[in-house]
Amino acid sequence: MIDLNHFTPLSALIGGLLIGTAATLFVLFNGRIAGISGIVGGLLRPLAGDVAWRIAFVLGLLMAPQLYRLNAPLPTLQIDAGYPLLIVAGMLVGIGTRYGAGCTSGHGVCGLSRLSPRSGVATVVFMSAGFVTVFVVRHLLGGN
């Protein structure tokens, strides 16, 4: 059953257009893919002259919701998991991005828009892993 309270096609369309526009502008002006794991990973092994734009990008990701909050309230989030589970989940995502040579933004947004076969496979794999994980946790293990 679809919960119509969470069905927000207009905001989803606007968000998708903003993400697509930002990724397009980033590749046009910088010649780089807006893959978050690659951008943050580059900060962990910095090269000369390659740090400032990465820091600016990450700060933009962190500051955008704060700027938005000045004009409209941010939605209330409810996370039904404890910190240990969130830490393990984050580590698994990090491992997946290393093995997949990219993340959801790099492969799912930028790679698919460039019709990259490798990104298509990566996106199918990480989306399938997410579907299976939710099914196992919610239906087989009885979690929320």
φ, ψ for residue 121 (rounded to 5)? -65, -45
- Count structural domains, the chain: 1
What pLDDT, on the 0 to 100 scale, is given for residue 143?
65
What pLDDT, on the 0 to 100 scale, is given for residue 5?
66
55 pLDDT band (50/70/90 cuts)?
very high
- The tens digit of pLDDT for each residue in 133-144 reads 889 888 888 765
Q: Look up tokens 């996370």; give the residue.
A: 79
Average pLDDT, the chain: 86
CA distance 107 to 104: 5
Q: What angle do CA 100, 19, 124 make, to 5 degrees?
A: 30
| Angle between helices 36-44 and 83-99 in degrees, nearest 10 | 90
How far, in Å, are 19, 25, 57, 100, 102 from residue 110 at the CA level? 10, 11, 16, 14, 10
C-beta separation of 126 from 105 below 8 A:
no
CA distance 127 to 140: 19
What pLDDT, on the 0 to 100 scale, is given for residue 113?
86
Residue 123 has pLDDT above 80, yes or no: yes
Q: Which residues contact 118 (CB under 8 A, 6 or more apart)?
A: 101, 107, 111
CA distance 24 to 19: 9
Residue 34 has pLDDT above 60, yes or no: yes
56 pLDDT band (50/70/90 cuts)?
very high
Q: Which domain holds residue 38?
A: 4-140
C-beta separation of 107 from 35 below 8 A:
yes
What would the mean pLDDT of 51-72 be, rounded to a whole number?
91
